[in-house]
Amino acid sequence: MQTTQHPRQWFKLGTTLFSFTNEYLNLEHSFEDLIAQVAVRGLGPGLEIIGFSHVRGFPQVTDRFAERFRELMAQYRLTPTCLSVNADVAIRRGTSMSDEQAAAYFEPQIRAAAKLGFPVVRTQLAAGPGALERLLPLAEKLQVKMGPELHAPWTLEAPAIVAYRELYERVKSPFLGFIPDFGASAKALPPSYLDYLREAGMPEDLLALAVGLWTGPGETQWKRDEFARRASALRAEPSVVSALSVMFSILSPQNARVWLEIMPQIIHVHCKFYDFDAAGNEPCIPYEELLPVFVEGGYRGYMSSEWEGHMYSQGSGLEAVERHHALCKRILIPYQ
């Protein structure tokens, strides 16, 4: 395959406002401020937002808000790329939504995406492929693509993912797809997260046990269960076991090239990241492998930089995304 074209002819970079959770929750920047920061710092041209986090009254969207949002996109020359929506299938305690109920819950969120000018909505696996199939006529009418985020610990062979792949093969609609999360193709755990746990008093033997299992062979669910079993035998506190078990859910070691299997069905990408080493590389996500795979596969959508360090840090998401864009652009130089 020829890869001599400029990388932006293959896919474009952008960011999700989820990366700036610290700035948003600490009231350092408003919603409009963050959009301005994305433009001023050159973190576009793509912009992703989260419905229930960034739109007051969501999934209802007022005409005034929609008009103002479109004005901001034009003013800052940004492109709406993806609206992240929620499934919330267990919102009522003790029961779970049927496919029909989940579809009804999604419907106003998809309409909101269309009203705001988003061509893609990120759904959640919990709703199931049956809900998306029911919504397909609406999505096609509104010209909005739908797809679940393929997040760790899921693999492409997991039954929940296979069910979606079978649906897509059967209906063959360009309005159904997937949104890979690069945390599902990690090569290590974030050094900053491990340091955070140590500073919080995490016993070194339990930390070593969790890291050893994560890096070793075996299916993710087995690793998590095996860690809980061994930690229990060591009489570890349940809260400690829970804190370490998160490792097996936020990141998993799936080969970067697996994404080629579903490349034609990828409608957006979440570029998850956490840390940078002294050379400006991400030590736990192999971007030097992942980005060339998407060039090779001919992906032509957008990629959102998604910093998740705010899960355990009060660091600056804006500065983190700046460094992430610099890393991505450096990796893509050979493909220009």
Quick: pLDDT tens for 56-65: 999 999 999 9
pLDDT score of 27: 96
pLDDT tens digits, 97-132: 999 999 999 999 999 999 999 999 999 998 999 999
Give domain status of residue 288, yes or no: yes
Contacts of 277 (CB under 8 A, 6+ apart): 283
What does the buried/exposed string (b/e) look like for 172-193 if buried means 16 or more CB atoms within 10 Å of the residue's CB?
Answer: ebebbbbbbbbbbbbebbbebb
Share of the chain above pLDDT 90, in %: 82
pLDDT score of 73: 98
| Host domain of residue 230 | 191-245
* DSSP H helical ranges for the chain: 21-25, 31-40, 51-54, 63-76, 99-116, 129-142, 159-171, 191-199, 204-215, 220-233, 238-245, 247-250, 287-296, 317-332
Mean pLDDT on 13-20: 98
pLDDT score of 234: 87
Per-residue confidence band for 241, with pLDDT thresholds at 50, 70 and 90:
confident
Residues 60 and 74 in one domain: yes
pLDDT score of 336: 76
Its pTM stands at 0.93
pLDDT tens digits, 63-103: 999 999 999 999 999 999 999 999 998 888 888 999 999 99
* 324 carries an active-site annotation: no
Per-residue confidence band for 236, with pLDDT thresholds at 50, 70 and 90:
confident
Q: Is the distance from CB of 300 to CB of 335 less than 8 angstroms?
A: no
Q: Is 6 exposed, middle or buried (0-12, 13-18, 19+ CB in 10 A)?
A: exposed
pLDDT score of 9: 61
Residues 126 and 165 in one domain: yes
Q: How far apart are CA 60 and CA 212, in angstroms?
A: 46
Residues 165 and 198 in one domain: no
Per-residue confidence band for 164, with pLDDT thresholds at 50, 70 and 90:
very high
Mean pLDDT on 314-319: 96
Nearest to 71 by CA among 102, 34, 108, 32: 32
CATH of the domain at 47: 3.20.20.150
Give domain status of residue 268, yes or no: yes
Q: How far apart are CA 57 and CA 92, in angstroms?
A: 20
Q: Indicate the SS3 state at residue 230.
A: helix
Residues 226 and 261 in one domain: no
Mean pLDDT on 310-325: 96
Q: Would residue 77 be called left, alpha or beta, if left means φ above 0 and alpha means ψ between -120 and 50 degrees?
A: left
Number of domains, the chain: 2
Per-residue confidence band for 5, with pLDDT thresholds at 50, 70 and 90:
very low
Q: Is 143 exposed, middle or buried (0-12, 13-18, 19+ CB in 10 A)?
A: exposed
Annotated active-site residue in 29, 54, 151, 270:
151
User: Among positive and negative, which fits the CA dihedral 218, 219, 220, 225?
Assistant: negative
Q: How far apart are CA 209 and CA 229, in angstroms?
A: 11
Give domain status of residue 81, yes or no: yes
Q: How far apart are CA 217 and CA 220, in angstroms?
A: 9
Per-residue confidence band for 208, with pLDDT thresholds at 50, 70 and 90:
very high
User: Strand 46-50 vs strand 12-16: parallel, antiparallel, or unpaired?
Assistant: parallel
Q: Is the distance from CB of 318 to CB of 20 less than 8 angstroms?
A: yes
Residues 279 and 212 in one domain: no
pLDDT score of 6: 47
Give domain status of residue 1, yes or no: no
pLDDT score of 244: 86
Residues 120 and 131 in one domain: yes
Q: Is the distance from CB of 272 to CB of 187 less than 8 angstroms?
A: no
Mean pLDDT on 155-164: 94
Q: How far apart are CA 118 and CA 272, in angstroms?
A: 21
Residues 73 and 210 in one domain: no
